[in-house]
Every structure is written in structure tokens, then in C-alpha cells.
């Protein structure tokens, strides 16, 4: 009986997620301008995630397995912003411009405040 209930909950959850995804799907042609020039800015990442953009337009993202946060300035080259992040992901800028990261270390969630001083 317990397996049946769990299976039923999974089906409902999947149905709900599919409905949400269908409602939010966007044609890829509207996301990237036809005249946009795509370029490779880095290689050999292990598992990237958690993009966030600051007020200047600089992009920050994590490589969870490499335990790094990268910074890609609006005009410039990709650099390592922080190392040894403890598996940081889920980046977010607060209203003061501080970069917040949720990170998982030893199966515990913690928040770190990272300030760009470069």
C-alpha cells in the first residue's frame, strides 16, 4: 500500500512538472538573436550551474565538482572568482550587490557571502 501511495504521488508530481514546463517553454529562436555571435569562453568544466549576473552585467557561475566560481565580465576574459567553494551553486546577488551562494559540504547546506573586490 505504501509503494502504491508513493507511486501515485510521483505520478501527480511528474504531471504537475510537465504542465509547468509546457506552460513556460519558449521557442529557442526568441532567446538568441539571429545576428548573435556565439563563442566558446571556456572548456573542460566538470559540472556548471547557478548563473547570476551582477549590476555591471558580469556573469558568475559555478563549477560544482571543481569547487569554483567563475566570473565572465561583460567585456573581458573568463577568470576564477573563488576556489574551494565547498560545492557552491545557486548564485544570487542581494540588493547590496553581494554575491550569495548556497553550497553543500558534508551534506549540509550553508550560505556564503562573496564580495567581488576585483
> Is 32 inside a domain boundary?
no
Q: Residue 97's domain spans which residues?
A: 46-114
Q: Which residue has the higher pLDDT, 5 or 118?
A: 5
Per the structure, the count of domains in the chain is: 1
> Is 66 inside a domain boundary?
yes
> Is 40 inside a domain boundary?
no
Torsion of CA 58, 59, 65, 66, to 10 degrees: -30
Average pLDDT, rounded, for the chain = 75
The predicted-structure confidence for 3-59, as pLDDT tens digits, reads as follows 555 545 646 665 655 655 555 555 656 677 788 888 888 889 898 888 899 999 999
- First vs last Cα of the chain: how many Å apart? 58
- Is pTM beyond 0.75 here? no
> Is 35 inside a domain boundary?
no
Q: Which residue has the higher pLDDT, 77 or 23?
A: 77
Question: Residue 69: which CATH number?
Answer: 2.40.10.500
> Is 72 inside a domain boundary?
yes
Residue among 78, 48, 79 nearest 65 (CA): 48
Position 77 scores a pLDDT of 93
What's the rounded Cα separation, in Å, for the pair 19 and 103? Answer: 30
> Is 102 inside a domain boundary?
yes
> Is 55 inside a domain boundary?
yes
Mean pLDDT within 76-94: 87
1, 10, 26, 90, 115 from 15: Cα distances, Å: 21, 9, 19, 25, 41
Q: Note whether 64 and 103 are within 8 A (CB).
A: no
Position 6 scores a pLDDT of 59
**pLDDT confidence band for 106 (50 / 70 / 90):** very low
Residue among 52, 79, 53, 83 nearest 67 (CA): 83
> Is 104 inside a domain boundary?
yes
Mean pLDDT within 61-86: 90
Amino acid at each position: 500500500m505504501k509503494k502504491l501511495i508513493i507511486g501515485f504521488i510521483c505520478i501527480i508530481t511528474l504531471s504537475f512538472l510537465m504542465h509547468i514546463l509546457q506552460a513556460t517553454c519558449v521557442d529557442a529562436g526568441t532567446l538568441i538573436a539571429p545576428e548573435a555571435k556565439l563563442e566558446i569562453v571556456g572548456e573542460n568544466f566538470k559540472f556548471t550551474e547557478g548563473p547570476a549576473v551582477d549590476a555591471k552585467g558580469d556573469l558568475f557561475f559555478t563549477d560544482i565538482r571543481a569547487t569554483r566560481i567563475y566570473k565572465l565580465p561583460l567585456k573581458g576574459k573568463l577568470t576564477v572568482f573563488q576556489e574551494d567553494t565547498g560545492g557552491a551553486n545557486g548564485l544570487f546577488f542581494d540588493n547590496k550587490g553581494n554575491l550569495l551562494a548556497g553550497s553543500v559540504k558534508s551534506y549540509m547546506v550553508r550560505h556564503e557571502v562573496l564580495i567581488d573586490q576585483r
